[in-house]
């Protein structure tokens, strides 16, 4: 791991205590207090970092609401980032749901009302023509990872405008904690192009521009200028697109993916996590991947992104493209996606089949899927009838309720287990507690993108990749699935524990970087000890 940083010359006294990168607060030793002119500025006792974590946890746990805990943790991040990241790494099960899903959804809803400290970079249509100049205002020259959103489709909550900045901030916190990307190499970006959420625009505390959303060519040209400015100032930075509405998500990914180091986590990260879960399910159910039939409820960018990666895996398993697509079926609000419908978007067309028009329940009986994957943002759409119909077809059906936050899930873990008489294999996009049914305790899997995107980003940066290919996502999914133990599977868990994300990210990064070299997408020569090289790059928050 990287060595813990020493304060630069001249950073002393209160300025040092106010610098989150170098501040250790009460953990400064007696010698350091003399060296950095801190004598008299701190209480006499010297704390270890472990003692500081104990103090933080005591204060955190006395908060009444998760949103208060979120505000508390963001304040900690703003004054002592190493303490924040060590806390997140060592207490992942407790802290991750507070700094990311599901609490980040509430934080975005209330972002303008809980705003404390500027963090991240904001661009508006008024900045057109000088984005490169404005980007010079960011204090760090060596940015390597950018998460950008326009706030139009925040989780399952819809258009939250500039309030959506909570998502890039949260994602990059996970990159630093679990991939080990140095915090100052990370840049959260909000493309504040307005909002069509009238309630937000009428909120006197709203912090974004108060206008309807920018659309069409004006929108695309603004994103073009932003991407070009990033390429100029940070030529090797990875851009992660996050929480764009489906048409723009697909448009931007297709526009840049072949010429810029970028990916869309909602489309490609979700796909890799879902595929990893399905690969683990195949082990549990004794089912060959090439024989699997999958039915998606929801036909947006996330669902079709999953299908695209599944198709790649099925092609590698020996199927033809037509055979692979016949394993993948979709239902949207108007029913089964079939060829005689005239309301399909371009990303839906490859998965429209010659079949009768059917509603959701009819489609389950017609397709007879082994796996049901929900990506709707519509809670309760996996009804009792849905689960019972699926369970009547297969002994161990797979149920993925991927919509976030928890309040938007297609069904709960308890519903999936109870309605299937304990035979369903369940994974949710948000955490669900263990469920005891008939004397057996089930541990629901969480298909959290945090399992995969930190490793993907770290691997791409380690290889100095020119772009990220489908093959790299496929290898990431396989590397994640390979870390699921028989013990995990016996508990019904299709992913490693979330507490293992930092450890699990390393083999994923190695697989992604290795694939980059295999596809001639890496810059420079492959090091002999790739795993050791990547491990040595990782940020160390201990002191």
Query: What CA–CA distance (Å, rounded) separates 100 from 443?
Result: 21
Q: Residues 416, 399: contact at Cβ < 8 Å?
A: yes
Element spanning 139, H or E = none
Q: Which residues contact 93 (CB under 8 A, 6 or more apart)?
A: 497, 498, 499
What strands lie across the sheet with 371-374, from one edge to the other? 335-336, 328-332, 294-297, 371-374, 398-401, 425-428, 445-446
Q: Which of 144, 1, 240 is nearest to 463 (CA)?
A: 144
- Cα gap 17→42, rounded to integer Å: 9
From 36, 100, 175, 256, the catalytic residue:
100
Which of 220, 163, 242 lies closest to 197 in space, CA to CA? 163
Dist. CA 284–CA 282, nearest whole Å? 5
Q: In sequence order, which ranges of 405-538 are alpha helices (DSSP H)?
A: 413-419, 453-462, 470-481, 486-490, 501-518, 530-537
3-state secondary structure string, 40-88?
A: CCCCCCCCCHHHHHHHHHHHHHCCCCHHHHHHHHHHHHHHCHHHHHHHH
Q: Exposed, middle or buried, 157 (CB in 10 Å: 0-12/13-18/19+)? A: buried
**CA quadruple 292, 293, 298, 302: dihedral sign:** positive
How far is it, in rounded angstroms, from Cα 75 to Cα 81?
Answer: 10
Residue of 24, 70, 85, 171 with catalytic role: 171
What is the per-residue burial (b if ≥16 Cβ within 10 Å, else e) of 266-305? bbbbbbbbbbbbbbbbbebbebebbebebbbbbbbbbbbb
Catalytic-residue membership of 171: yes
d(CA 23, CA 227): 34
- Rounded to the nearest 5°, which phi and psi values hold at 400? -110, 110
Tokens of 427: 């994974």
Give catalytic status of residue 417 as yes or no: no
For the chain, the distance separating the N- and C-terminal CA atoms, rounded to the nearest angstrom, is 12
**For residue 41, what are the contacts with CB-CB under 8 A and spacing of at least 6?**
13, 14, 17, 33
For the chain, the farthest-separated pair of C-alpha atoms sits apart, in whole angstroms, at 79
Residues 16, 36: contact at Cβ < 8 Å? Answer: yes
- In sequence order, which residues have a C-beta less than 8 Å from that of residue 501 and are 6 or more positions away? 92, 96, 174, 177, 178, 450, 451, 454
CA distances from 53 to 27, 47, 200, 217, 393 (A): 11, 10, 37, 50, 50
Residues assigned a catalytic role: 100, 171
């Amino acid at each position: 791991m990287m060595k813990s940083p020493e304060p630069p010359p001249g950073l002393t006294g209160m300025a040092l205590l106010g610098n989150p990168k170098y501040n250790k607060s009460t953990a400064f030793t007696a010698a350091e207090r003399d060296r950095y002119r801190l004598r008299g500025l701190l209480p006499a006792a010297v704390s270890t970092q472990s003692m500081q974590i104990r103090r933080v946890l005591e204060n955190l746990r006395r908060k009444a609401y998760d949103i208060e805990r979120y505000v508390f943790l963001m304040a900690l991040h703003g004054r002592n980032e190493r303490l924040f990241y060590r806390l997140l790494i060592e207490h992942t099960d407790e802290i991750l749901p507070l700094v990311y899903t599901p609490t980040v959804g509430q934080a975005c809803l209330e972002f303008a009302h809980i705003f404390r400290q500027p963090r991240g970079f904001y661009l508006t249509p008024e900045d057109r023509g000088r984005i490169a100049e404005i980007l010079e205002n960011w204090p760090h020259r060596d940015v390597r990872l950018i998460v950008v959103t326009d706030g139009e489709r925040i989780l399952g909550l819809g258009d939250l405008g500039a309030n959506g900045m909570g998502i890039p901030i949260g994602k990059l916190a996970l990159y630093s904690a679990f991939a080990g990307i140095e915090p100052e190499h990370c840049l959260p970006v909000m493309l504040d192009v307005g909002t069509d959420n009238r309630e937000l625009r009428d909120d006197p505390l709203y912090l974004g521009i108060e206008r309807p959303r920018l659309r069409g060519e004006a929108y695309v040209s603004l994103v073009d200028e932003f991407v070009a400015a990033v390429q100029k100032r940070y030529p090797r930075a990875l851009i992660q697109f996050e929480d764009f509405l489906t048409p723009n998500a697909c448009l931007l990914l297709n526009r840049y993916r072949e010429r810029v180091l970028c990916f869309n986590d909602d489309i490609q990260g979700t796909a890799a996590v879902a595929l990893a879960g399905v690969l683990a399910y195949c082990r549990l159910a004794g089912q060959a991947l090439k024989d699997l039939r999958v039915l998606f409820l929801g036909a947006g960018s996330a669902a079709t992104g999953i299908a695209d990666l599944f198709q790649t895996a099925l092609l590698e398993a020996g199927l033809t493209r037509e055979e692979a697509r016949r394993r993948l079926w979709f239902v949207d609000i108007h029913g089964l996606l079939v060829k005689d419908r005239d309301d399909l978007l371009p990303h839906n067309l490859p998965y429209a089949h010659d079949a009768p028009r059917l509603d959701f329940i009819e489609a389950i009986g017609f397709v007879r899927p082994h796996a049901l994957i929900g990506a709707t943002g519509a809670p309760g759409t996996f009804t009792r009838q849905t689960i019972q119909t699926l369970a009547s077809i297969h002994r161990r059906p797979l149920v993925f309720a991927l919509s976030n936050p928890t309040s938007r899930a297609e069904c709960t873990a308890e519903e999936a287990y109870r309605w299937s008489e304990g035979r369903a294999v369940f994974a949710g996009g948000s955490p669900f507690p263990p469920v005891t049914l008939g004397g057996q305790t089930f541990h629901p899997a969480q298909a959290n993108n945090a399992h995969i995107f930190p490793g993907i980003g770290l691997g791409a940066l380690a290889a100095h990749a020119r772009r990220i290919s489908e093959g790299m996502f496929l290898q990431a999914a396989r590397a994640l699935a390979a870390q699921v133990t028989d013990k995990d599977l016996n508990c019904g868990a299709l992913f490693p524990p979330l507490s293992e994300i930092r450890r699990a990210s390393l083999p994923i990064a190695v697989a992604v970087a290795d694939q980059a070299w295999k596809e001639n997408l890496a810059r420079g020569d492959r090091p002999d000890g790739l795993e050791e090289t990547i491990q040595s790059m990782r940020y160390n928050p201990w002191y």
